Amino acid sequence: MSKFFSYLKTDSFRKNLIGAVIFIIVLFLSIYFGLKIYTKHGDSIEVPVVKGLHINEAIKVLERADLEYNIDSVYQMEMKPGTVIEQDPDPQSQVKTGRTIYLTIITQVAPEVAFPEIIDKTLIEATAILRNQSLKVADTTYIADIARDVVLEVKFAGQPLKTGRMIAKGSAVTLVLGNGRGANEVEIPYLIGLSLNEAKFALTGVGLNLGAVSFSGLDSLSAKVISQQPDTTAGIVSIGTAVNITLSN
């Protein structure tokens, strides 16, 4: 034990002790300043606003700010593809350079959905079903059928569209609906003010016949129709129905 205490009094021990203390101090300072440099302590920047920008412009802004980015995408029918709708961290947050900013954009390519069953649905029902599938009605056309405002056929890009076919969300389709009339029924045309030849042409064009022709006054080429029977209040009649007219100067 006496040798140990004697060694503590030697120059060799003092030199080793001082060297160890210096080594620990240097090691501590190296670690401290190294971590400050590595973490860029006190060196932060403000996150720029990229929400609302197109993704290409947003990337340029982040790269100029020395920030990284990670992109996720969602689909929204009414939004312009490529638009940044969310960013994390929020704008004006203080972050280190090189920090990753997480962006959510509107996808460039719309996902597809199976076209729903809307045949024999009413126009109101079909429109609601399509809206739930992020689809739209571009136009409606009517054909002769007793099922009024009921979907008889669906067309997309001019071609028939079958149930279950894959179609991009946001697509607009044309609905073919029944007009509530049978195939052998037509609407009576309005003949008042037409000449005899014009009245014949109008009736023939819809599949009706000219019935009795009478004149109120002189028989003249300038005479115009002043009354018709049946008139337009009758609405719908069968093809081939005769329409009687009265003409006058």
The domain 44-106 is placed in CATH, from the list 3.90.1300.10, 3.40.50.2000, 3.60.15.10, 3.30.10.20, at: 3.30.10.20
**Band of residue 135 on the pLDDT scale cut at 50, 70, 90:** very high
Average pLDDT on 150-163 reads: 93
**Band of residue 43 on the pLDDT scale cut at 50, 70, 90:** low
Residues contacting residue 103 through CB under 8 Å, at least 6 positions apart: 50, 55, 58, 69, 70, 71, 72, 84, 86, 87
Query: Would 112-178 and 185-248 be classified into the same CATH topology?
Result: yes
The dihedral built from the CA positions of residue 132, 133, 139 and 140, taken in this order, carries a sign that is: negative
As a CATH number, domain 112-178 is 3.30.10.20
SS3 content of the chain, % helix, strand, coil (to 5): 30, 35, 35
As a CATH number, domain 185-248 is 3.30.10.20
Percentage of the chain with pLDDT > 90? Answer: 47
N-terminal to C-terminal alpha carbon distance within the chain: 147
Q: Which residue has the higher pLDDT, 41 or 84?
A: 84
Work out the angle at residue 188's Cα, subtended by the Cα atoms of residues 183 and 193, and round it to the nearest 5 degrees.
155
Q: Is the entire prediction scored with pTM above 0.95? A: no
Least confident of 32-41, 73-82, 168-177, 186-195: 32-41
Q: What is the CA radius of gyration of the chain?
A: 42
Name the residue ranges covered by the structural domains of the chain: 2-39, 44-106, 112-178, 185-248
Q: What is the pLDDT of residue 181?
A: 74
